[in-house]
Structure 1
Amino acid sequence: MKIAVNTRFLLAGRLEGIGKFTLETLRRMVANHPEHEFYFLFDRPFDKQFVFGPNVIPIVLSPPARHPFLFYIWFEFSVARALKKIQPDVFLSTDGLTTLSTDVPCVTVIHDLAFEHYPKDLGLLVRKYLQHFTPKFAKASERIVAVSEFTKQDLIKTYGVPAGKIDVVYNDASDNFQPATEAEQEATKQKFSKGQPFFIFVGALHPRKNLVNLYKAFDKFKKQTRCEAKLLIVGRKAWKAGEISETFRQLEFQDDVICTGRVSDEDLRLLYGTALANVYVPTLEGFGIPIVEAQKCECPVIASNVSSMPEVAGDAALLVDPFNVNEIAGAMQDIWKDQGLRISLAYLGRKNLQRFSWDKSAEKLCESLTKAVQSASKLA
C-alpha cells in the first residue's frame, strides 16, 4: 500500500499522548511492512529521528497548523493538494482531525471527545472548530480508530457512528519505562524532592487533568498525616491554567508541591520508579498513558473511576471519584501508611501490562488501514 500519514504531532522532546501513539505505532508499521510506502506529512521542519526507514518519504506542508484557522487551511488545502499529488491508497490521521477535501479513503484516530463533555476547558475557537468538524470527520472517514472501548462507545452515543466502523487500538508505554534500583531511587529523591518521599502527577496542567482537586486533596492529606511527603507535578502548562494557579497559591502546604516542568524520558522513568504512587485523577481520558507508564516502573497508581481509566487500570489501581477531594486524599493516606498495599499494586500492575503491546497496536492499526482500502474499493 501507499500510505499518507498526518505526522504533525511528531515533535522532538515534546511528545505527549497523541505524539506517543503516532511514534510507537508508525515506527513499528514502517519496520514490519517494508512492502508499504509511507508519506509522512509534517507541518514544520521535522527531526530526522522520525524518518523511521527507507520506505518513508517526509514532506513538509505549510502553514504550521497550530490554530483553528490554520487547521482548516492545512487540512483542506495543503493536505488535500498533497494527497492529490501522491495518490495514496489511504490517508491516516492520528490526531482526530482529517480533510474533507479528498476522495482518498481516510482512517482517523480519535482519542476522546472531551471537548463535547467539558467544552469550557477549551478556548472558544478550538472548541467551535472541534464541535463543528469532528462529527463531519467521523462521518467522512472510511474507518475510525478509538484508543479505548470507552471512546468507541462515546463515539457511538454522541455521534451515532456505527459500531462496525470503529476499531479499538490501545496505547501502551514505551519500553524505556523500567523499575528504578534502590540507588537510583535515592539519587532521584535527592535531585527532585529534597530527599523526601513523594507522590507524582504526570501530564499537562490543563483543567481536565483535575489539578485543582489534586492540590486540595494533597493539602488535606498533609493536614491529616503531617508527614514529610511531597507532590511532584511533571508537565507543561496548557490552556486555561488560571484556576490551577489560583488554587496552588491558596495551599497551606504550597512549599511541598514541586513543579518540575517537562523532564527527560530517563528522568521520568526514575520519577515513576521512585514515587509512592502516581496520582492520576483527570475528569476524562480517552486512554491515560501515564497509568501504564507508572505500572511499567512498578509504581502504584491512584486513578479516576470515570471514562477510560478503570478500563486501562484494571484491578491494579486504587480508583477514586475525581470530584471527591476526600476520596483522593484518603487513597493517598492508604498508600502512605500501607507498604503491603504499595507492593500489591505494583504486582497487579505488572500483570495488567500483559493486556497492552505497541506491537499488537501497530498491527491492529495496519489492519484498519487495509480494511479501509478494501471497503473503499468495493464502493468504487
Structure 2
Amino acid sequence: MTNVYLNGRFLMARQSGVQRVARRIVLALDDLLNEQPDINNKYHLVCPEGEMDISLRSISTIRLPSTGQRFEQASLPRACADGLLVNLANSGPLTHNNSIVMMHDAQVWTTPKSYSPAFRLWYKSVQPLLGRRARKVLTVSAFSADNLMSHGVVETAPTVIHNGVDHILDAAPEPDVLDRLGVTSRSYIFAFASAQPHKNTRLLLDLAKFSDAPEIVLAGDLPDNASPTENIIRTGKISDGALRTLYENALCFALPSLTEGFGLPAGEAMTCDCPVLAAKAGALTEIYSQAAIMLDPHNPKDWLSAIQGLANNPKERQALIDKGRKRAATLTWARAAETLRRIIGETLEADTAQRAAKAS
C-alpha cells in the first residue's frame, strides 16, 4: 500500500482564500474516500503542532513537533520520505521530489505591491524551485496556469482544478446581522474590502460618492488613507453564517478586483442566489462571465448604472440569479476532490508502470 501525504501546514496559517481552498479540498477528499475507499493507497494529513480544528474519518492524521518553515522544510519531508506528498496551499518542502503542488496564482509577479518585500522575496525564490521539482503542478484556473507559465514559475502547463463554492451553505444563516448593521433586504450592495491594491477597493469607495449610490456593506480592511462616505457600512469580523445572510439579502455582490486567480466570493454569492457584478479582469471573465455582469474595473459610473438596472428591473435580476445558481452548481468541492484523487491515482500508476518496466 502506497502512502499519500497531505501537507497540513495550511491549518496553522491565517485563513485566507488559499487556506480555505486547501481545507475544503481535504474535507471533500475525506468524504470521497469514506464513500469510495482506496484499497491501494493510504492517505495521511501531516500537521504541525498546535490546535487542529479539522475532523476527518478516512484520512489519518500525523502530528509533528514543529511549526512554520521548520515544519515544512525539515520535519515534513523526512516524515513523508516513503510516499507521495501533496501540497495544496502554494508552498511545500524543497527537498521532497515526489510531490504534487497547487499554486493558486502568480500575483506576487503580476501585482507585487500587494505583498510585503519579505513575502515577495520568499515566493519568488521558492515557487520556481517547487514548480521545477514537483512531479505535477496544479492551479485553479486557466488564467493562473497561463500566468505561472509566462513568469517562468513552471515549465509545463499546470493542471486546472476549479475551486468549489458550495461550502457557504454549510453555515446556518444569521439574520440578526442585518439589524446589527442597520440594513434591510435588497437595500445594499455587498462586497469585500482589502488594503491590497489589486483588490481595487478604491472603486467601491468612489462608487459610494455618487449621490444616488445605495449603501455598500464592506467586509474586510480599507486601504490606507481611505475616507469612506456615510453610506459605507463596515461589518467588522463576521462569521460564515453572517456572511451567508449578507449574500442572500444583498441587492447584488460586487467584485471589482484588477486580477483574481479564481474569485471565490463571486461563486459564494451565486450559491446564495445573489446576483454578481464582476470586473473584466483576471480569471473572473473565465470563471463567471456567463453568469455575471462584467464591468470595467476603472469606471465606477458603469457599476452604478448596472446596480440601478438590477434595482429597477426585478426580472433582469432574477435572470442573473438563475444563471449564477446554474454556474455555481458546477463548482463543487466534491468535483475538485474527485479530480485531485484521479491525478494522485495517475501519478501513482505511473510509478507502478515504471517499476514494472525496470523489473522486466
Bucket of the pairwise TM-score, normalised by the shorter protein: 0.7 to 0.9
Give the Cα–Cα distance (whole angstroms) in 2 for the partners of residues 268 and 147 of structure 1.
23
Segments of 5+ residues of structure 2 without an aligned counterpart are 356-360
Query: 2:165 is aligned with what amino acid?
Result: A
Deviations 1:346-379 (A, max 9, x none): 1111121232121111010111222333445566
Matched, 1:202 2:181: no
Cα deviation, residue 10, structure 1: 2.8
Segments of 5+ residues of structure 1 without an aligned counterpart are 66-70
Give the Cα–Cα distance (whole angstroms) in 1 for the partners of residues 146 and 245 of structure 2.
35
Give the Cα–Cα distance (whole angstroms) in 2 for the partners of residues 20 and 120 of structure 1.
23
Residue 358 (structure 2) aligns with: none
Deviations 1:131-154 (A, max 9, x none): 122111111110011111111222
Query: 2:224 is aligned with what amino acid?
Result: S
Q: TM-score, normalised by structure 1?
A: 0.83
- 4+ residue stretches of structure 1 with deviation over 6 A? 178-181
Deviations 1:97-117 (A, max 9, x none): 1112124x1111111111100
Deviations 1:184-218 (A, max 9, x none): 87x55323234471111136543221112221122
Of 23-32 and 109-118, the range deviating more from structure 2? 23-32
2:166 aligned to which of 171, 174, 177: 174
Whether the aligned pair in 2 keeps the contact of 1:284 and 1:306 (CA below 8 Å) is yes
Q: Aligned residue pairs: how many?
A: 348
Give the Cα–Cα distance (whole angstroms) in 1 for the partners of residues 153 and 31 of structure 2.
36
Whether the aligned pair in 1 keeps the contact of 2:141 and 2:160 (CA below 8 Å) is yes
Whether the aligned pair in 2 keeps the contact of 1:178 and 1:273 (CA below 8 Å) is no
Query: 1:141 is aligned with what amino acid?
Result: A
Query: 1:7 is aligned with what amino acid?
Result: G
Give the Cα–Cα distance (whole angstroms) in 2 for the partners of residues 316 and 266 of structure 1.
24
Give the Cα–Cα distance (whole angstroms) in 2 for the partners of residues 11 and 133 of structure 1.
20
Query: Aligned residues: percent identity?
Result: 21
Deviations 1:23-80 (A, max 9, x none): 2221222232243433223334133x413115412314523x2xxxxx3x43322222
* 2:309 partner SS: helix
Matched, 1:192 2:181: yes
2:341 aligned to which of 354, 360, 366: 366
Q: TM-score, normalised by structure 2?
A: 0.87
Query: 2:160 is aligned with what amino acid?
Result: V
Whether the aligned pair in 2 keeps the contact of 1:179 and 1:298 (CA below 8 Å) is no
What is the aligned-residue RMSD (CA, Å)?
2.7
Q: How does 1:283-302 map to 2 (within 5 A)?
A: 283-302=258-277
1:245 aligned to which of 224, 235, 239: 224
Residues 233/173 of structure 1: CA separation in 2 closer, same or farther (3 Å cut): same
Residue 25 (structure 2) aligns with: 25
Give the Cα–Cα distance (whole angstroms) in 1 for the partners of residues 234 and 268 of structure 2.
19
Deviations 1:264-291 (A, max 9, x none): 1111111100001111111111111111
